[in-house]
Amino acid sequence: PRPAKNFAPLAQPRRITLQDRVAQGRLYAVWNVPEWGHADLPALDLATTVLGAGKTSRLHRRLVEQEQLATDVSLGVGSGELGSQIYLVVTARPDVDLARIEAVANEELSRFAQEGPSPDELERARMRALSGFLRGIEKVGGFAGKAQILAESQTFSGNPEFWKTDLTRLREATPGQLQATVQKWLGDNRLTITVEPYPAYAALGEDVDRATLPATAAPPDLDFPALERTRLDNGLQIVLARRPNAPTVELDLLVPAGF
């Protein structure tokens, strides 16, 4: 039997803040969305294209060209058999506050949810998707080739011709459908990760006294468990140390058998 679909949307927003040895900060946002073959996925694919795929996308124009807050923006769908994810990645310009970038990105997502795409935006996204599909099936193998498309349809849906269903959904998608899917799936229930460069550290000054080592606190007392010993009838000596913290047993056997 095929595994049950379970894409587990987040019940509430989650946030992680990291520091790394990088020159520029970066913002990540991830949404859990339905599995490959779901009726909403083609509309989500088109919506993310309008919002964040290429230099004509809304997020690129706003963040990179108009406000010059970022050097790169991408938004796309990664589909899977059990569930899919939408990834937003924004690379900040040096010294730009990631909170400002996140606020602008949220504004564009909210505007799309309220207004939807224009007919021209939808047609550009549709032509991009269809032309990519046609270029892919010029090949037999490889990614997006005929063999991969047929195998994917057979593996994920049990029907090697399921790709026709997705293609029809892509061709028939309307601005209202894109708007509705963004309202439904691209809300606040996402994982946001911000990665900041490490700050520049420097010595405090020339007047720092380095002749004396910093004082250290007293080490904590060690509390080892008492050892229990016994010997089996075959002469094997048993040494037991009880540690009730975890319900596990670890066994080491030492045999005096030479080198």
CATH code, domain with 180: 3.30.830.10
Is residue 71 one of the residues assigned to a domain?
yes
Is residue 255 one of the residues assigned to a domain?
no
Is residue 216 one of the residues assigned to a domain?
no
Is residue 30 one of the residues assigned to a domain?
yes
Contact 24, 197 (CB under 8 A): yes
Instruction: Output DSSP code: residue 228.
Output: E
Is residue 211 one of the residues assigned to a domain?
no
Contact 196, 62 (CB under 8 A): no
Is residue 22 one of the residues assigned to a domain?
yes
- Output the pLDDT for position 2: 63
How many CA atoms are closer than 13 Å to the CA of 254, on its beta-carbon side?
4
- Output the pLDDT for position 136: 85
User: In whole angstroms, what is the distance from residue 108 CA to residue 29 CA?
Assistant: 14
Number of domains in the chain: 1
Distances in whole angstroms, Cα of residue 259 to Cα of each of 23, 79, 137, 235, 256: 53, 55, 63, 21, 9
Quick one: how far is CA 85 from the chain centroid?
7
- Output the pLDDT for position 258: 65
Instruction: Output DSSP code: residue 217.
Output: P
- Output the pLDDT for position 223: 85
Regions of the chain with pLDDT less than 50: none
Is residue 247 one of the residues assigned to a domain?
no
Tell me the residue range of the domain where 33 lies: 14-197
DSSP string of 182-249?
A: HHHHSSS-SEEEEEEEPP------TT---SSPPP-PPPPPP-PPPEEEEE-TTS-EEEEE--TTSS--
Quote the pTM value: 0.73
User: In whole angstroms, what is the distance from residue 57 CA to residue 50 CA?
Assistant: 5
| DSSP 3-state of 13 | coil
Q: How many CB atoms lie under 10 A from the CB of residue 214?
A: 5
Tokens 């963004």 label which residue?
Answer: 182
Q: Is the dihedral of CA 157, 162, 166, 168 positive or negative?
A: negative
The letter for the amino acid at 234 is N
Distances in whole angstroms, Cα of residue 30 to Cα of each of 5, 49, 140, 187: 19, 16, 33, 11
Is residue 251 one of the residues assigned to a domain?
no
